Structure 1
Amino acid sequence: MSATAGESRAVRRIAVVGLDCRFPGAPDPAAYWDLLMRSGDGVGEVPANRWDKGDFHSPEGAEGRTNTTEGGFITDPDVFDNEFFTISPREAAAMDPQQRLLLQCAWRAVENAGVAPSGLAGSRTGVFVGIMGNEWAQLHLTDYDRITAQVGSGNGYCMTANRISYHLDLKGPSLAVDTACSSSLVAVHLAANALLAGECDYALAGGVNVALTPALGIFYTQAGLSAPDGRCKPFSSEANGIGRGEGVGVVVLRRLEDALADGQQIYAVIRGTAVNQDGRSNGITAPNRWSQQEVLAGAYHRAGVEAGDVTFTEGHGTGTELGDMIEVKALGGLHAGRTGKPMALGSVKGNLGHTEGAAGIAGLIKVALALHHRVVPASRFATKENPKLNLAKYGLRLLKAPLRLPAGPTLAGLSSFGMGGTNAHAVLETAPPTAVRPGATGSGGVFTLSATSPDALRRNLLAQADEIGRRRVPVGPVCWNSNRVKGGHRVRFALPATDAAELAARLRAAAEDEDLLGRLAAQPAGRPKIALLFTGQGSQSPGMTARLYRESALYRGFLDQADAELRPHVGESVRDLILSGDELVHLTRYTQPALFAVGYALARTLGELGVAPALLLGHSVGEYAAAVTAGVFGLPEAARLIAARGALMQALPIGGGMLSVQAPAADLRELVDGEPLVGVGAVNGPQQTVLSGDLKALDRLAGLLAGRGVQTRRLQVSHAFHSPLMAPMLDRFAEIAQQVGGGVPQLPLYSTVRGRVLRDEPMDAAYWVEHVGAPVLFAEASERLFDAAPTHVVEIGPKPVLNGLVRRLRPPAGLRTLHPAQGEDPGAAGLLELLASLHRDGLNPAWDALYPEEDRQALRLAPYVFSDAHRYWSRGPVRRSAGPVPAAAPVAEALAATETGPGLARIGLARGAGLTGPVAEAVLAAVAQVGGYAVAELGAHSRLYEDLGFDSVMVMELKTRIEKKLGWTEAVPVQDLLPHLASLGALATFFEHHRSSITVAS
């Protein structure tokens, strides 16, 4: 590349960061690339569901209107996963299949860019669609008796772009472009300019073409442009006309500097584009060499490059004698001087046919993939070069074999010319080298995936398993990218992973686990309400959390932080004591600060990972870490206080202990009152009381209780905590507590001193002094915490202790108890399992904090796999999995059914549940008709908007149909109806209540 040319102008460039496509013989980008590299042929017979070829073609050509029955057709253009986009069957059947194809293609392209499509909601993302055919409208808008609101919105060029913007909630420019065959490259040109102008930050640019009628083929034949074998043969001596093709493609574009700043993967870079018009030539459909040459020069100028810098060009290349000749001469006007270094020339139309409105995007994706893979595929039909073109004279050559691109920047051109004279050209370049990053550690993570239903989750689990198993990539980046891209749907899957091969195997196993899929689908929606319970003394052990310290940098940092604050007060490193596995950890002077350090580090680790507590409770010394989490005081103050507490208790005389008693505290009161050196140390449950005090007194009580048949157990502790024996330490401790102070908790903290939540009450010196000798009212505080309806209890400590106590109380139905350090030697795996469990239940963790920087690198995962169960064509919807669905099944039959219908199984409804009587039957039947559902698919909990895809127009039609079915002559006021549209059950109840005030026709 000419350095002066490239550096003399400030060229702002556009990155192609994502793409998806579907072309004849190539259902996805990988298959498309394979087709190109093997010079494959995507052309075949006209599918039977398009038109009766016998009506328009005869082998002799005498009576036929077309000269071919061949073309490049995509398979199953009628398949559409309407449930994924919450589109009713009736609306899906009315939609132009080009809209349907673009919706799914756009979703997959955004995922391919490493972005969760739901994450673009509300953003200034533009949508630019090239399209030149609207044959669906020709078939449907001329049947006036069957025109509905859905048919209206299901047609029109604008809707191809507007559908994408609507369903992804994109707020940038949204428009369709028709410049005939150059439409989609012109759309890319407009998208790039919108990005450079700051109108949008992301842009989706694409094109689509589906041949539903033979009309354009007849035109090509009558104009002498149609190839008899339906195949374009670009620049070949066999070139004899155009062959029609179909396809859809979408690319995701960003300003290059933004893509690089975010570390996105880049297929290629668009350096510059240009668009012009032929003006007046020798016919409106005839090409103009000079205009083509000018658009090439304009694109080179805007890209800041010289013609000689371009290594290859994807030509328009229709395979017509005149078109090929003019295109070669236009290129030759700029490249003829390239002696010894001819520019490679080809056209994908030789593989696919002329995809018309999608031709430009087909070429763009080919060029982007070629630059990405650093190889240009051979051009089909290049072996029989047309000598009349004099390619060598014009500095051009056809590729008869793939061209390997050298290291360093490489430039490519792309042309697309419209039949009406609108020309477009783009200059692309290989992606810039990114900064060398450390290799991924693959240390582990949580693989996440979401889908709209159990079946959808199964499909996508298998797709991800195949991709991960095939590529064998480091598991850390795989998990990180899954967290970023694969969320947003109701059914959530999450799995801890430390090895890619094992992950692939477990994904396959999960896909076959019907019970698991059912449980995931049954999970209630909404974010978890999490209570953190901090464990107290007795949970310590030598080496506790040592493996987690080694495996989690996050935990390691917070434990080091706690140790640094404790060391001046303890006199040595609590962290080192913990990690060494020393039995000294059982000495109270070390136990209490060590447990505090572990509790603090675990709570801070979870906080950094997005596990935000709604409620807090600490058992005995666990209340210190809980207080720091609640903002009562800072780490330095808490460290000083807990270290003093442990040291002062250690200095107390020996001879005290604790006794666990299987009896209510009230039943023990009389015995305890008779022993002045014994008190109730803790109340952990209705039958779980701990007595604390003088050992001889405890022995007497144990004997008395044994005589009554009450079980007791001596606890292994050094002192009689929470007993009268703590009194000698209180004065000195009070002095230190007074210096430390303490404020009001900033989160709801359930005090085990008070047995309830603290309400604007400071946890000051007086509180902490009382805390030393007061009984631990764990059971009472927990019961009050349950009243606040937490969904999850996460125990914070070196091992689970409190979770068992919680389960023996009266927890709310469905309360889940979790712990981040399960097992004998808990490491990061316990933390990963905790995050996976919470994510399955609705939490969106702060995933970045889980991974080291080297694992946070972009990696493309397998795209979303849509359902192929539903087909929508001109005759209406047909469902492959269940056969034809009637417009309205008998209501009685639907109400008697016990399983969910095939279409709405994702919603988990009981069909017809709670919907009985004539009014309910009328509502069900009307909803089925308006939405195109079988009545058997509908239930009381079906939501009109979220589940059934209704909109305001459909609601108005629904109201009219219900009134008609009920024979009401007086219309229901719309304002009265609107508050009752949450579900079919609410709607049926409204009409039932309204019946008494309505006049019924005789």
Structure 2
Amino acid sequence: MTEREPIAVVGLDCRFPGARDAQEYWSLLMDGRDGTDRVPEQRWDADRYHATSPATPHSAHDARPPGRSNTLRGGFIADPDAFDPGFFGIAPREAAAMDPQQRLLLQCAWRAVEDAALAPQDLAGTETGVFVGVMANEWAFLQLADYDRITARHGLGNGYFMGANRLSYHLDLKGPSLAVDTACSSSLVAVHLAVNALRAGECDHALAAGTNLIMTPVINIFYTQAGLSAPDGRCKPFSASADGIGRAEGVAVLVLRRLSDALADRQPVYAVLKETGVNQDGRSNGITAPNRWAQQQLIESVWRRAGVTADDIRFVEAHGTGTLLGDFIEAQALGELTCGRSGGSVALGSVKSNFGHAEGAAGIAGLIKAVLALHHRTVPPSRFADDENPDLDLPGRRLSLLRSPLKLPSGTVHAAVSSFGMGGSNAHAVLASAPRTVRRGRSTAPGVLTVSASTPERLRANLLAQADALSRRPGNQLAQLCWTSNRVKSRLPHRAAVAAGDLPALAAELRRAAERAEETARADGGRRGEPSVAFAFTGQGAQHPRMTASWYRSCPAYARHFDEIDQLIAPHTGVSVRDLVLDGDPEVQRARLAQPALFAVGYALAATLAEAGIRPSYVIGHSIGEFAAACAAGALDAADAARLVARRGALMDKLPEDGGMLAVGLAAAEVEPLLVRRARLGVAAVNGPRSTVISGESRELAALEAELTGRKVAVRRLTVSHAFHSPLMRPVVEEFRRECADVSDRRPALPVFSTVYGRELSGEETMDTRYWARQITEPVRFAEAAGALLATGVTHVVEIGPRAVLTPLLSRLRADSGHAVSLHSAHPGEHAPAHRPQQLFGELWCAGLTPDWDLLYDEADRVPRRLPPYLFDQSFRSWRSGTAARLVEHSAPPVPPGTDTTSAAPRLPSGDDRGESCPPAPDGDLPDSLTALTRRLVCRVGGHDPAHVHDHDRLHEDLGFDSIRVMELKTRIEDALPQLGSLPIEELLAGLRSVADLVGYLRGQLADGSPAPQPAASEGTR
């Protein structure tokens, strides 16, 4: 038989008793610990439903008191009701009505996808399949027993199908989506369906999951009455002391791909599913009794299709419930296949020995154990190996329980997993170790690690988690880990980016960033629509030796663009400005080289950012910076610009060095009278309302400086070789005009804010010969041009140059002209860190832009690595207890030492499930009674804490208002404001994005435009 496409396990996450994640799960298994405990008080009064079990497990049924369980123990996960509803855009009241299994699956799925080195958002819109094994739905029994309290959200919060469909909905997955119930084999059957869907091409990624929560004593009582329950609540598989089932909980998600696809994407692979299969017992010796022949036939079939024999299988993760009959039949079925094995025995185990039978999640619990064993190349021991049941004759069947961990050999290793359903639906899988791949990174490559979260508090927790994990990773993985974080950890609104050249420094900076996490604002700043970017090109005076050398060394794209423009400049300068810059030659300070060098730097930086997807919508340039700005705007060819700046610098360099420049703290209007009788002085630049530069002959400038100093005016001499933008520049104007004569005259493709005119170029205006000639002597009207630029509403201004000169000027102008975020491409000082490009990309991303991170990394660095998955907020708690279906609010349990306690996500407001007693929200940006009323109603419908609802919050994405919630909100508004009549639901669904939109809409609907009336009498008691 032709071997079918192997399926790779590329990501996983899980929660089982005694284990909050896969790492703790593996530790639990390797340590051979017991994860069981007494029934938590949150579930039910265990003593009330407990009765001492009969003396032997085979006593008469009438010896078991009806309605009672024989055990007080089981395997329970910690805090099953903890959830982060805001992260998934779910309103608190909807979350409270959801089956906790659905909540756990959502968080587990997100973490599993991240563990696969994928951004969950990258799967949005794809045909990713979701297959969930689930056996129990006790939440529905608790929720829906009281008919008078059932609302629409209760219906949506229950049902097996919703376990899968919620994952598909909230992650926007378009592939097959279904829940599977085959009792105890449910989750391994779900894996089988996912494998087949991948092979059939129905999906390219699949989430295979299993879940089980014990919310009532019903099944405990059933197991007791059926003689299946272990009195001590522990499964003891294949042990002489085996006396029944101990129940357990769990939730787990695997991310599966076709192996060829995973390898092509260089994705990390835990293990490989070679083959899976399912069958049914049919009519055997009882619907709940296991059938040896069906099990044996299934295992034989799967092994045959996988192309393996008993000689290839190193260990089997058995169903192994710890019932005498079940263990005996399973040992018989396996033994028929393994008894003739050459070599040693097949290791046999069952994870149920560690925490019990997880029922709907049992199969995936065993599968993850096998996957991790192959990944770590070690099989964990069996807890009851020292008490092996001799009646099973395991040695004669070439099966052995492990008393200590088994180290697996090198090369390909195979394992098998079984899971059998109570009703006869059996599942089996054969796995193999992952293909060996070695992808070492460069030991000296810098990177920028990105971490994002839904709130500042979550950002802090996740920064610390990454710091702890990275401190234990190999140093040569730095760039690979950073590149992975850029892909996986970069889509949430609160952000931190840390650039470093080694892992210890990176971990230390992450911890420092965590201390400032609470200060972070949303990356989008509450902004609507796409961001817009302006490039502001620095002028002369910003140059320094080795400027942007760190860019050249650590950003291949910048080096390429710098080389290209240097080749265009060199024929006109006779030297390579690139070499001068990289060598730190002080000659770069002279005008003949400074101007072409500044142009080259600006041109290469702008080209690099544009290649990275940071493209300008507007440009502005300060003096010589206008040449690079013209190139970026498409108004000037790079070759022409290279010739012009070289010639311009050479002409100015030949002028006598008898001039200077003086920055004064006066407005331009105050400066002009001072120059009336000083013909050799002029205004060189107007950089702000009280920031003017005067340029001209040195003696006249010195006299003016002394006069202003005597008047207590702030003055500062600039370090320049010539009096640029002064009357002393006039001798070179005509010759430069002739140099410009053959430059093509074309309109820019982008808006250019001219610092010659102090405004945007308009109409048919171009940067022609006359413009460039005039620019030599005209003042640089930066303040006016930049003010006009900021007035456009541009969201980001990136300074392009070797030093941050314009950024502080823009920050002083922003208060009057706009609120754009200012960033600079170079380090503020001359001694830039080696990873400045990485820093800038991180700053751009934190400011809400999306650079193409790949430009920062060589091919060897672009390798996915697993990072710690997202840490969710755990402060929301909601649980229903007992058949009265009463909503019980639980405070968070005592916090263990070292646990993050900064989370402040909204809790469910006080009051019953309809939300009658949500307190009024404080007024926001629209302080009137209509604003207060609207926000109060939004809080009531969604169950939000008013302190966490703001005018810019989006009803759907941020507050979880789906069509049902909108309908409820519509009804409440109509009751509170009866003069509005019936509101059109189409408008509410389609056009109202935020709370502020809703307030504005309602204000517009009020006929007389007066402030909203006080709420109707019914509103306060609804």
TM-score greater than 0.5 by the shorter chain: yes
Aligned equivalent of 1:865, options 871, 880, 884: 871
Aligned equivalent of 1:387, options 368, 375, 390: 390
> How far, CA to CA, are the matches of 2:669 and 2:516 in structure 1?
49
> Which residue of structure 2 aligns with residue 5 of structure 1?
none
> Which residue of structure 1 aligns with residue 260 of structure 2?
257
Residue 590 of structure 2 is aligned to residue 597 of structure 1: no
Residue 31 of structure 2 is aligned to residue 38 of structure 1: yes
Report the more deviating stretch, 245-254 or 607-616.
607-616
Report the more deviating stretch, 549-558 or 143-152.
549-558
Report the more deviating stretch, 517-526 or 787-796.
517-526
> Which residue of structure 2 aligns with residue 59 of structure 1?
52
Post-superposition Cα deviations, 1:100-122, rounded to whole Å, max 9, x if no partner, equal 11111111111111112222221
> Which residue of structure 2 aligns with residue 466 of structure 1?
468
Report the more deviating stretch, 937-946 or 136-145.
937-946
> How far, CA to CA, are the matches of 1:81 and 1:709 in structure 2?
59
> Which residue of structure 2 aligns with residue 426 of structure 1?
429
- Runs (5+) with no aligned partner, structure 2: 55-62, 881-885, 893-905
> Which residue of structure 2 aligns with residue 949 of structure 1?
960
Post-superposition Cα deviations, 1:476-531, rounded to whole Å, max 9, x if no partner, equal 333322222223222222233334334333433443447x4365699444665332
Residue 451 of structure 2 is aligned to residue 445 of structure 1: no
Residue 538 of structure 2 is aligned to residue 535 of structure 1: yes
The one-letter code of the counterpart of 1:451 is A
> Which residue of structure 1 aligns with residue 352 of structure 2?
349
Q: How does 1:7-86 map to 2 (within 5 A)?
A: 9-59=2-52, 61=54, 62=63, 63=65, 65-86=68-89
Post-superposition Cα deviations, 1:640-674, rounded to whole Å, max 9, x if no partner, equal 22222222333456656556566555566678687
CA distance 1:583–1:326, shift in 2 (3 Å):
same
Using the TM superposition, give the Cα deviation of residue 143 of structure 1 relative to its aligned residue in structure 2, in angstroms. Answer: 2.1
> How far, CA to CA, are the matches of 1:348 and 1:370 in structure 2?
12
Using the TM superposition, give the Cα deviation of residue 60 of structure 1 relative to its aligned residue in structure 2, in angstroms. Answer: 5.4
> Which residue of structure 2 aligns with residue 782 of structure 1?
786
Report the more deviating stretch, 762-771 or 936-945.
936-945
> Which residue of structure 1 aligns with residue 910 of structure 2?
886
Using the TM superposition, give the Cα deviation of residue 175 of structure 1 relative to its aligned residue in structure 2, in angstroms. Answer: 0.6
Report the more deviating stretch, 764-773 or 99-108.
764-773
Post-superposition Cα deviations, 1:68-108, rounded to whole Å, max 9, x if no partner, equal 22221212212222222222222222111111111111111
> How far, CA to CA, are the matches of 1:842 and 1:124 in structure 2?
28
Post-superposition Cα deviations, 1:824-880, rounded to whole Å, max 9, x if no partner, equal 311344444433333222122222222333333322222222222121111325252
Q: How does 1:423-572 map to 2 (within 5 A)?
A: 423-434=426-437, 436-441=438-443, 443-471=445-473, 474-513=477-516, 516-517=518-519, 523-525=525-527, 528-572=531-575
Q: Secondary structure at the match of 1:21?
A: strand
Using the TM superposition, give the Cα deviation of residue 274 of structure 1 relative to its aligned residue in structure 2, in angstroms. Answer: 1.3
The one-letter code of the counterpart of 1:821 is H
Using the TM superposition, give the Cα deviation of residue 724 of structure 1 relative to its aligned residue in structure 2, in angstroms. Answer: 5.4
The one-letter code of the counterpart of 2:479 is G
Post-superposition Cα deviations, 1:786-806, rounded to whole Å, max 9, x if no partner, equal 221233333222223223443
The one-letter code of the counterpart of 1:293 is Q
Q: What's the RMSD between the two structures over aligned residues?
A: 3.4
The one-letter code of the counterpart of 1:886 is S
Q: How does 1:130-149 map to 2 (within 5 A)?
A: 130-149=133-152
Q: Secondary structure at the match of 1:496?
A: strand
> Which residue of structure 1 aligns with residue 898 of structure 2?
none
> Which residue of structure 2 aligns with residue 4 of structure 1?
none
Aligned equivalent of 2:278, options 259, 275, 280: 275
CA distance 1:362–1:612, shift in 2 (3 Å):
same
Using the TM superposition, give the Cα deviation of residue 941 of structure 1 relative to its aligned residue in structure 2, in angstroms. Answer: 5.4
> How far, CA to CA, are the matches of 2:287 and 2:1005 in structure 1?
64
Report the more deviating stretch, 251-260 or 607-616.
607-616
Q: Secondary structure at the match of 1:84?
A: helix
CA distance 1:47–1:713, shift in 2 (3 Å):
closer
Residue 977 of structure 2 is aligned to residue 974 of structure 1: no
Report the more deviating stretch, 394-403 or 351-360.
394-403
Residue 115 of structure 2 is aligned to residue 112 of structure 1: yes
Aligned equivalent of 1:315, options 291, 308, 318: 318
> Which residue of structure 2 aligns with residue 826 of structure 1?
832
> Which residue of structure 2 aligns with residue 795 of structure 1?
799
> Which residue of structure 2 aligns with residue 621 of structure 1?
624
CA distance 1:139–1:741, shift in 2 (3 Å):
same
CA distance 1:214–1:535, shift in 2 (3 Å):
same
- Runs (5+) with no aligned partner, structure 1: 1-7, 898-909
Post-superposition Cα deviations, 1:723-757, rounded to whole Å, max 9, x if no partner, equal 55555545554454344425332222212223222
The one-letter code of the counterpart of 2:804 is P
> How far, CA to CA, are the matches of 2:219 and 2:196 in structure 1?
32
CA distance 1:162–1:574, shift in 2 (3 Å):
same
Report the more deviating stretch, 769-778 or 455-464.
769-778
The one-letter code of the counterpart of 2:870 is Y
Using the TM superposition, give the Cα deviation of residue 247 of structure 1 relative to its aligned residue in structure 2, in angstroms. Answer: 0.6
Tell me, yes or no, if the aligned pair for 2:915 and 2:943 is still in contact at 8 Å: no
Residue 964 of structure 2 is aligned to residue 960 of structure 1: no
Using the TM superposition, give the Cα deviation of residue 464 of structure 1 relative to its aligned residue in structure 2, in angstroms. Answer: 2.3
> Which residue of structure 1 aligns with residue 179 of structure 2?
176
> How far, CA to CA, are the matches of 1:605 and 1:538 in structure 2?
23
Using the TM superposition, give the Cα deviation of residue 548 of structure 1 relative to its aligned residue in structure 2, in angstroms. Answer: 4.4
Report the more deviating stretch, 306-315 or 752-761.
752-761
> How far, CA to CA, are the matches of 2:200 and 2:789 in structure 1?
55
CA distance 1:402–1:788, shift in 2 (3 Å):
same
> How far, CA to CA, are the matches of 1:924 and 1:670 in structure 2?
57
Using the TM superposition, give the Cα deviation of residue 44 of structure 1 relative to its aligned residue in structure 2, in angstroms. Answer: 2.2
Aligned equivalent of 1:930, options 941, 957, 962: 941
Report the more deviating stretch, 331-340 or 644-653.
644-653
> How far, CA to CA, are the matches of 1:993 and 1:620 in structure 2?
49
> Aligned residue pairs: how many?
979
> Which residue of structure 2 aligns with residue 412 of structure 1?
415
Residue 763 of structure 2 is aligned to residue 763 of structure 1: no
The one-letter code of the counterpart of 1:887 is G
Scaled by the length of structure 2, the TM-score of the pair is 0.88
CA distance 1:705–1:497, shift in 2 (3 Å):
closer
> How far, CA to CA, are the matches of 1:778 and 1:920 in structure 2?
42
CA distance 1:148–1:832, shift in 2 (3 Å):
same
Q: Secondary structure at the match of 1:482?
A: helix
> How far, CA to CA, are the matches of 2:215 and 2:667 in structure 1?
80
Q: Secondary structure at the match of 1:260?
A: helix
Tell me, yes or no, if the aligned pair for 2:915 and 2:940 is still in contact at 8 Å: no
Tell me, yes or no, if the aligned pair for 1:794 and 1:818 is still in contact at 8 Å: yes
Report the more deviating stretch, 851-860 or 991-1000.
991-1000
> How far, CA to CA, are the matches of 1:715 and 1:938 in structure 2?
51
> How far, CA to CA, are the matches of 1:964 and 1:709 in structure 2?
68
> How far, CA to CA, are the matches of 1:1001 and 1:657 in structure 2?
77
Using the TM superposition, give the Cα deviation of residue 281 of structure 1 relative to its aligned residue in structure 2, in angstroms. Answer: 1.4
> How far, CA to CA, are the matches of 2:636 and 2:850 in structure 1?
28
Residue 843 of structure 2 is aligned to residue 837 of structure 1: yes
Q: Secondary structure at the match of 1:53?
A: coil
> How far, CA to CA, are the matches of 1:318 and 1:520 in structure 2?
50
> Which residue of structure 2 aligns with residue 902 of structure 1?
none
> Which residue of structure 2 aligns with residue 213 of structure 1?
216
Post-superposition Cα deviations, 1:337-387, rounded to whole Å, max 9, x if no partner, equal 113332221111111211111011101110110000000011221222222
CA distance 1:708–1:278, shift in 2 (3 Å):
closer
> How far, CA to CA, are the matches of 1:23 and 1:963 in structure 2?
47
Tell me, yes or no, if the aligned pair for 2:101 and 2:211 is still in contact at 8 Å: yes
Using the TM superposition, give the Cα deviation of residue 935 of structure 1 relative to its aligned residue in structure 2, in angstroms. Answer: 5.9
Report the more deviating stretch, 368-377 or 690-699.
690-699
Post-superposition Cα deviations, 1:601-655, rounded to whole Å, max 9, x if no partner, equal 2223333444332221111211111122222344333222222222233345665
Report the more deviating stretch, 519-528 or 161-170.
519-528
The one-letter code of the counterpart of 1:880 is S
